[in-house]
Chain A
Amino acid sequence: MANPHTNQPAHVKHYFVSSEQQFDAAKMGMWLFLVTEILLFSGMFVAYTIYRSWHPETWMALSTALDWKLGGLNTLVLLASSFTVAMGINQIQRGNQKGLLLNLILTFVFAGVFLVVKYFEYSAKIEHGLLPGAAFDPHGISHGFDYATYNVPYGPQFFSIYFVMTGIHGFHVLVGMGLFAWITWKAKNGAFSAEYYTPVENCGLYWHLVDIIWIFLFPLLYLI
């Protein structure tokens, strides 16, 4: 499968010296993109910092409105998906296409589980009026607990920040599922090998970043 003009493997574009150079260039581009993602989320973390530092009592009161069990479960699910991505890359580096395929499917499933859990969390919040801004109206009784006690000053701001941060993170998970569906399909058709697995590497880097964002969101929103 070599290019007859350059004596390079078929996946190497003519403007690269080698497969290695092409891989490094793609990966560096991915890291640059990840930094823009970090900056996107840092704006929201700054908003979080301002409101938390001015109204710590609101943050402490309303972090209990979020279910740490579901949040913790989702943390473990995302950690597991990061692990399967790393395992998949390990497998394809050894030339094991089936091992890669299995790990990519597992990653896709874990991402789906994350969104299903998030769906149940959001439904409970919407049902009891724990909503952002003007829509904030805690009401209803569940398991003997009166949600009206969550009606504290600056509660609307807390839930604005909660929904924007977890919403944009959830959107990234959705995009990640699309990416993993795409590379899983490619992997099934045998597109990747120990010599060429750049899309797997870069989608993996993206996925790890989505995991890292959640590593910070979980304690900051659910626990403290």
Chain B
Amino acid sequence: MSQDHGHHIIPVKMLYAVIGVLVFLTVLTVALAQVELGVFEVPVALAIALTKAGFVVMIFMALKWDNRVNASILAVGALCVLIFISFILIDTEFRGDLSNTTEGTIMDQQRVEQAMEGREPERSDISFNRQ
């Protein structure tokens, strides 16, 4: 095993390349923030940040050449974060949609609602009642 003969030394050239990429991605994310991206604003910013974090973890923290057990420890942490954020989004984005516990499907109910609306008389037809 190569590890018995000392640790992996990352070439200086590679370190320079990585800092170059990181600076470039920082400039890119600032530039893209000036452009109107609509719904893609958050996903694009997160994708760039994740790419940068990936370079730092893999090269600067040398996880690429490290003992696999450290990678699995990080993966467990990342999985927890993913669960926290995605379950929170299920709540904040779809609250109400999921708490429907009446009988029948949502589509059934919408069909009934539309039928009822169709039967609703015109306001002018029932106005005599108010007098």
Give the interface of A toward B (CB within 8 A). Answer: 20, 23-24, 27-28, 31-32, 34-35, 38-39, 42-43, 45-46, 49-50, 53-54, 68, 72, 75-76, 79-80, 82-83, 85-87, 90, 93-94, 194, 204-205, 208, 211-212, 215-216, 218-220, 223-224
User: Known contacts A46-B88, A54-B92, A219-B33; is A80 also within 8 Å of B80 by CB?
Assistant: no
Asked if residues A79 and B23 are in contact (CB atoms below 8 Å), the reply is yes
| Nearest chain B CB to A192 CB, angstrom units | 13
Q: List 20 A-B contacts (CB under 8 A).
A: A27-B70, A28-B70, A31-B70, A35-B73, A38-B78, A45-B81, A49-B88, A49-B89, A53-B92, A54-B92, A68-B30, A72-B26, A82-B60, A86-B18, A86-B60, A93-B9, A218-B49, A219-B46, A223-B29, A223-B33
| Nearest chain A CB to B51 CB, angstrom units | 10
Residues of A within 8 A of B19 (CB): 79-80, 82-83
Residues of A within 8 A of B26 (CB): 72, 75-76, 79, 218
- B30-56: CB near A (< 8 Å → 1, else 0) gives 100100000001100110110011001
CA distance A56 to B88 in the complex (A): 15
CA distance A75 to B22 in the complex (A): 10
Give the interface of B toward A (CB within 8 A). Answer: 3-4, 6-7, 9-10, 12, 15, 18-19, 22-23, 26, 29-30, 33, 41-42, 45-46, 48-49, 52-53, 56-57, 59-61, 66-67, 69-70, 73-74, 76-78, 80-81, 84-85, 88-89, 92-93
Tell me whether chain A's interface is mostly helix, strand or loop, or mixed: helix
Asked if residues B10 and A86 are in contact (CB atoms below 8 Å), the reply is yes
CA distance A212 to B45 in the complex (A): 14
Asked if residues A215 and B49 are in contact (CB atoms below 8 Å), the reply is yes
**Shortest Cβ distance from A213 into B: residue:** B53
| Nearest chain B CB to A198 CB, angstrom units | 11
User: Known contacts A54-B92, A83-B15, A223-B30; is A42 also within 8 Å of B69 by CB?
Assistant: no
Asked if residues A215 and B23 are in contact (CB atoms below 8 Å), the reply is no
Asked if residues B15 and A224 are in contact (CB atoms below 8 Å), the reply is no
| Nearest chain A CB to B95 CB, angstrom units | 10
| Nearest chain B CB to A145 CB, angstrom units | 18
Residues of B within 8 A of A45 (CB): 81, 84-85
| Nearest chain B CB to A84 CB, angstrom units | 10
Q: Which 9 A-B pairs have the closest CB atoms?
A: A35-B77, A223-B33, A219-B45, A53-B92, A83-B19, A42-B81, A31-B70, A86-B60, A38-B77
Asked if residues A219 and B10 are in contact (CB atoms below 8 Å), the reply is no
